[in-house]
Amino acid sequence: MQLHFSPSMRSITISSKNGFIDLMKIKVAACHISYRTLFHTILILAFLLPFVFILTALVTLEGVNKCSSFAELLWSDCLGRRLGPKLLGRVDDPAQRLVRDFYNILNEVKTREIPSALELPDSFDQLVSDMKSNQYDAKTFAFMLRGMMQKFEREIRESKFSELMNKHFAASSVPKGIHCLSLRLTDEYSSNAHARKQLPPPELLPTLSDNSYHHFIVSTDNILAASVVVTSTVQSSQKPENIVFHVITDKKTYAGMHSWFALNPATPAIVEVRGIHQFDWLTRENVPVLEAVENQNGIRNYYHGNHFAGTNLSDTNPYKFASKLQARSPKYISLLNHLRIYIPELFPNLDKVVFLDDDVVVQRDLSPLWEIDMNGKVNGAVETCRGNDQWVMSKHFRNYFNFSHPLIAEHLDPDECAWAYGMNLFDLRTWRTTNIRETYHTWLKENLRSNLTMWKLGTLPPALIAFKGHVHPIDPSWHMLGLGYQNKTDIESVRKAAVIHFNGQSKPWLQIGFDHLRPFWNKYVNYTNDFVRNCHILDS
């Protein structure tokens, strides 16, 4: 067979030697492609074909495991699956496939039991070394990774509980410097007549029951803390000469406390120091429930015993455990801590007083408190359910009481607003017309009979019940709480508050106190005092 093209390329003649087809003439339609178009087409193909060849070769090499031949690569969906993502910029590289496969392995071992024979490494370096030497597969590696994470989580959890326990012991103990201060001042009381001088002087004794003065009461066995409360109140007052402080302490601290205020008078304010043993009314006959609190073995074991006993750490979290520890502070069975409920009887001639805890600092003149109209209420206090934060100012009765107890559920409302102890304005005349003390005793006895199942946390819960209906809310700016357990306290708010309260474990005189809040307390400590300096209070 022979082909003959005409010179114009418009016809093709086919002839055969065998005679079957002698001659066939085919006309070709006219082609209107210009030479310029043909040149550009050839030029584009010259650049495109090498790229297509290289890309096809790479896809073929990558797909050698899944596409057995070049023909399958071209005509099956292999080329579409592999070439399409590359042309669209979505490259399914080996690293991505490896990560996807590893995710699948992790999901597989997440719920399976870790092989008991698997030895878990103690560090990342050991893990890498074991992988190299033993040639573990990906599933074994995933099991080892999971086991290591669980192991480290357990250790961290146990460490956190140990930290909370150590913090509890630190908060419950007396720092060496403060213990030294008490001992040295007690010794001074026995050897120095100036340390034993009468407080206040005889000519000022009438002021102790004069209601034209502003009377403050603080009950504590911490001499340094008492000095800060008195000093800050006096320095912040516009009329310090109108202030009378009644400092109440226990028998063992009385001599040291008396020595401090005798040798460091808070003039022009007047300071009285009295020991519990000096109050004729404060007998066991009048407060039998407190004798039960202090002497009952079960109660003492609860506050002084093994705090881990009976606690399943796997069923609780550190926050709940910390709350339980705080509720078991030994101060809650101290008579000094319950003393505020007996103020009307201890000071029968006073009409209105402000009670201050020993862990507060006064930063503003408190005399306007005496001008507040109490509207027939007994207790002027800051409510602690009106704030936005979840830790300090969001407390209701449900935060303090066990509402699964039938007596609590029957008599109390879980949504009722709580209020704060620590800076309270008490109208003693109105108080004496109520049965607040008797209610306090009744509920405290009930809680003792129920083995402390009605509430755990100290003196505030029975006071919340006893003062129910007798509380007059005062502006929150008078009393800012939480400086002893909320380390994210806003500094500007601290500066503006009239009274700041270091309630919680992290007291400013302890090493566990918050460093950024401690200066608000330190500024009222007289570090030039010989006793303070010799006891190395700065170092304690």
Q: Would 103 be classed as within a structural domain?
A: yes
Q: Would 129 be classed as within a structural domain?
A: yes
Tokens 């403050």 appear where?
A: 216
Whether pTM > 0.75 for this model: the answer is: no
437 forms beta bridges with: none
pLDDT tens-digit readout, 456-467:
767 899 999 999
Q: Would 397 be classed as within a structural domain?
A: no
In the structure, what pLDDT confidence band is assigned to residue 73 with cuts at 50, 70 and 90?
A: very low
Q: Would 161 be classed as within a structural domain?
A: yes
Q: How many domains does the chain have?
A: 1
Lookup: tokens for 80? 């579409």
In the structure, what pLDDT confidence band is assigned to residue 146 with cuts at 50, 70 and 90?
A: confident
Highest mean pLDDT among 5-14, 85-94, 132-141, 268-277: 268-277
pLDDT, mean of residues 458-484: 94
CA angle 213, 215, 498 (to 5 degrees): 105
Q: Would 382 be classed as within a structural domain?
A: no
312 compared with 71, residue with greater pLDDT: 312
- Inform me whether the pLDDT recorded for 26 exceeds 50: no
- In angstroms, the CA 30 to CA 8 distance is 10
Highest mean pLDDT among 27-36, 73-82, 89-98, 101-110: 101-110
Q: How many CB atoms neighbour CB 504 within 10 A?
A: 22
- In angstroms, the CA 517 to CA 494 distance is 9
Query: What mean pLDDT value characterizes the chain?
Result: 81
Query: Measured between alpha carbons, how far is residue 442 from residues 76, 185, 402, 446, 517 in Å?
Result: 89, 40, 17, 6, 39
pLDDT tens-digit readout, 197-244:
999 999 999 999 999 999 999 999 999 999 999 999 999 999 999 999
- In angstroms, the CA 239 to CA 269 distance is 9
Q: Would 163 be classed as within a structural domain?
A: yes
- In angstroms, the CA 190 to CA 179 distance is 17
Query: Measured between alpha carbons, how far is residue 382 from residues 74, 471, 481 in Å?
Result: 82, 9, 10
Q: Given this model, what pLDDT does residue 147 score?
A: 79
- Which value, to the nearest 10 degrees, does the dihedral of the CA atoms of residues 339, 340, 345, 346 take? 60
- Inform me whether the pLDDT recorded for 191 exceeds 50: yes
pLDDT, mean of residues 494-520: 93
Contact 221, 253 (CB under 8 A): yes
pLDDT tens-digit readout, 156-176:
776 776 666 666 666 667 789
Residue 289, C-beta contacts closer than 8 angstroms, at least 6 positions apart: 441, 444, 445, 448
CA end-to-end span of the chain: 115
- Residue-range definition of the domain harbouring residue 157: 94-169
Short-list 474, 521, 283, CA closest to 370: 474
Q: Given this model, what pLDDT does residue 83 score?
A: 52
- Which value, to the nearest 10 degrees, does the dihedral of the CA atoms of residues 57, 61, 67, 69 take? 60
pLDDT tens-digit readout, 288-340:
666 665 555 555 555 545 555 555 556 566 556 555 555 555 556 677 888 99
Short-list 405, 391, 416, 385, CA closest to 455: 405
Q: Given this model, what pLDDT does residue 507 score?
A: 93
* Type of residue numbered 402: N
Q: Given this model, what pLDDT does residue 389 score?
A: 72
Q: Would 122 be classed as within a structural domain?
A: yes
Lowest mean pLDDT among 219-228, 246-255, 379-388: 379-388
Q: Would 418 be classed as within a structural domain?
A: no
* Type of residue numbered 202: P
- In angstroms, the CA 122 to CA 118 distance is 13
In the structure, what pLDDT confidence band is assigned to residue 71 with cuts at 50, 70 and 90?
A: very low
Please state the φ and ψ torsions of residue 360, each to the nearest 5 degrees. Answer: -110, 160
Contact 281, 307 (CB under 8 A): no
- In angstroms, the CA 395 to CA 387 distance is 9
